[in-house]
Amino acid sequence: MTKFKRIINGECHFEMIELFDDVQKAANNSNRGEFVECKIKNLKFDFATVKKEHDGTNPNASAEAKGSSREETQEVSGSKTESK
């Protein structure tokens, strides 16, 4: 099944609330505390892009990876048809 990804780009103002057990840890912006809540305000969408998700197959795979690229095939033992 084919999936599509929509990526929305925009701007917003946010307020994120975290809990800390120490005032020094809370004062340092590089520390992460226990997440409590995030409020988003003034959300503005600038643009969106849609992309097809990769399904794991490579459309540019070589013939060697898929099998022989020769037009002639070898006879299979027990086959009743003749190869050209």
Check residue 81 and give its pLDDT.
53
Return d(Cα 7, Cα 1) in angstroms, integer.
20
Check residue 71 and give its pLDDT.
46
DSSP E strands, the chain? 4-19, 34-52
In tens, the pLDDT along 5-52 reads: 999 999 999 999 999 999 999 999 999 999 999 999 999 999 999 999
Residue whose C-alpha is closest to residue 35's, from 14, 58, 64: 14
Q: Looking at the whole model, is its pTM more than 0.75?
A: no
Contact 9, 48 (CB under 8 A): yes
In tens, the pLDDT along 60-84 reads: 655 455 554 444 445 555 555 555 4
